[in-house]
Amino acid sequence: MATAAIAGSESRRSRALGRQKLSRERVERAAVALARSEGFGALSIRNVAKVLGVAPMALYTHVKNKDELAEHVADALIGSIDSRTLGALTWQDRIRTLLRAHRDLVLKHPEITPHLAAASGDPGPGLLRFANSITTVLTQSGFETDLADDLYFTLTTYNYGSVVTAPGNASPSGSSLLKYNEGLSTILAAYESRMIRPALGIVESMRERLRFGRK
């Protein structure tokens, strides 16, 4: 089983480093590896303890409970979305790339959604990194900060909703995927018009002033 393989890897790492003392970092690292290998649903104090080769009670020195451990794993997973390979794409395509990676993650691990929602008021480093990758694209493309934050919330909410309605919580294809892409394009177009309208208003105002010689 994957749990045994992860446990073997942890055991080899421990032997390589000597008798490594159990730490919060090791507990969290093992929990993330378990979630990646067997799915978020396999995450439990007992399973993580098995990976580490320790008694379950030993983990409570480093984490309060399963919920605290799950929150860290959820944060680590969303923080792993890589925004460094966006290249010279348009801002719309950069947003689409990030949003699809986010949606794929939630489709694969739907159990992380409530943990990410609970962390929205006090986000961890992973969630902050992902949110910043979205808002940075937007602000660099001309959006005001408040509007960029608004669009980030709208887009992630749309993603969570699309996962809930996806058939069998599996990655859709064909018409379902087309519907998702159309919805995403509609949201981006709506916000783009909000972004450029004030600029267009200023231009029209200047034209009127020049036309009628007003100052």
Query: What digits encode the pLDDT tens for the residues 93-114?
Result: 999 999 999 998 988 888 888 8
Q: How far apart are CA 77 and CA 72, in angstroms?
A: 9
Q: Which residue has the higher pLDDT, 202 or 188?
A: 188
What does the pLDDT read at residue 215?
47
Q: Cite the residue boundaries of each domain of the chain with CATH code 1.10.10.
A: 2-63
- What integer pLDDT is reported at residue 165 of this predicted model? 76
Tokens of 150: 């608004």
What is the average per-residue pLDDT within 108-135? 87
Determine the pLDDT at residue 78.
93
Residue 85 pLDDT > 80: no
CA distance 74 to 108: 12
- % of the chain surpassing 90 pLDDT: 48
Nearest Cα residue to 94 out of 130, 149, 144, 133: 133
Q: What is residue 15's predicted lDDT score, i.e. its pLDDT?
A: 39
Which pLDDT score is estimated for 13?
Answer: 52
Given this model, what pLDDT does residue 8 score?
57
**Which residue carries 């064909």 as its tokens?**
174
CATH 3.40.50 fits 2-63, yes or no: no
pTM of the model: 0.76
pLDDT at 34: 94
pLDDT above 50 (res 14): no
pLDDT of the residue at 184: 92
- Please give the average per-residue pLDDT across 160-189, as a whole number: 77
The answer to whether 109 and 73 are in contact (CB under 8 A) is no
Architecture of domain 84-212: Orthogonal Bundle (1.10)
Nearest C-alpha neighbor of 51 from the set 5, 7, 2: 7
CB 49 within 8 A of CB 56: yes
Identity of the amino acid at 9: S
Residues 6+ apart with CB under 8 A from 80: 126
Q: What pLDDT, in 10s, does the model give residues 18-60?
A: 346 899 999 999 999 999 999 888 999 999 999 999 999 999 9
Instruction: Outline which parts of the chain fall under CATH 1.10.357.10.
Output: 84-212
